[in-house]
Chains A and B, each alone.
Chain A
Amino acid sequence: EAGVAQSPRYKIIEKRQSVAFWCNPISGHATLYWYQQILGQGPKLLIQFQNNGVVDDSQLPKDRFSAERLKGVDSTLKIQPAKLEDSAVYLCASSLGWSGSRYNEQFFGPGTRLTVL
């Protein structure tokens, strides 16, 4: 079974520039998550999709971050404009079950390492 795919793996940009990340979840997984992982910290949930609808985006900085999941499959996360503090690894994960189910194993992609100069 193919895992969660993410691209690019690395990205270096200057502050105030824009950047976009792409995620392709495991086939058949209804739930998709975007996490931000700052060096030395655990993952922090940014947004959670159930099919193509947003379930939770309470920690997404909506003035600069946006995400979409068209057709309930692939997803893109965008930052515009980027700030120095956005430097982190952005992880995409997917799970099989519905958001109301408590015990869904999350499968993670390798992440995109973003450096903002």
Chain B
Amino acid sequence: GENVEQHPSTLSVQEGDSAVIKCTYSDSASNYFPWYKQELGKGPQLIIDIRSNVGEKKDQRIAVTLNKTAKHFSLHITETQPEDSAVYFCAASIWDSNYQLIWGAGTKLIIKP
């Protein structure tokens, strides 16, 4: 079946440095790629998304890039802060009688003071 691979599983960066999380997807028909942030004890929350007709999208310190040819997309966080510590999930849309999201396994981001 279709899947999304996410790397790394854990990422530790110094406060103020940048963090990059990468995902690859298998379904060439996928056209919507959201990123969710999950804090401890909470449900995931959408932080940014990108659609297949766009190569890059930025929102303050967060940016997402998409390479449809290579079937991979990445999340970039600049000037990391302690509140960025969380688990980040990427996802890709698929069509299987209904649109649904296939999720990556998650990346635990640790911001070191």
The winner among A40, A42, A45, A107 for most chain B CB atoms within 10 A is A42
> What 1/0 flags go to A84-117 for Cβ under 8 Å of B?
0000000101000001111101111111000000
List chain A residues, Cβ under 8 A from B6: 42
Whole-angstrom distance from the CB of B69 to the nearest CB of chain A?
21
- Is A44 close to B, CB under 8 A? yes
Tally of A interface residues using CB under 8 Å: 25
Whole-angstrom distance from the CB of A47 to the nearest CB of chain B?
11
List chain A residues, Cβ under 8 A from B41: 110
- Is A4 close to B, CB under 8 A? yes
B 41-81 contacts with A by CB, 8 A: 41-46, 49, 51
Q: Which of B32, B43, B49, B99 makes the CB contact (< 8 A) with A93?
A: B43
Q: Which of B98, B103, B105 makes the CB contact (< 8 A) with A55?
A: B98
List chain B residues, Cβ under 8 A from A107: 45
Whether the pair A41, B106 counts as a contact (CB closer than 8 A) is yes
Question: Measuring CB to CB, which residues of chain A are less than 8 angstroms from any residue of chain B?
Answer: 4, 40-45, 48, 55-56, 58, 91, 93, 99-103, 105-111
What separation, in Å, do the CA atoms of A93 and B31 have in the docked complex? 21
List chain A residues, Cβ under 8 A from B105: 40-42
- In the complex, which residue of chain A has the Cβ closest to the Cβ of B9? A40
Q: Which of B98, B101, B103 makes the CB contact (< 8 A) with A99?
A: B98
List chain B residues, Cβ under 8 A from A48: 98, 100
The winner among B46, B98, B105 for most chain A CB atoms within 10 A is B98
Whether the pair B32, A4 counts as a contact (CB closer than 8 A) is no
Whether the pair B43, A42 counts as a contact (CB closer than 8 A) is no
Whether the pair B104, A42 counts as a contact (CB closer than 8 A) is yes
What separation, in Å, do the CA atoms of A100 and B93 have in the docked complex? 12
List chain A residues, Cβ under 8 A from B96: 56, 58
Whole-angstrom distance from the CB of A91 to the nearest CB of chain B?
5
Whether the pair B101, A40 counts as a contact (CB closer than 8 A) is no
> What 1/0 flags go to B72-113 for Cβ under 8 Å of A?
000000000000000001010100111111011110000000
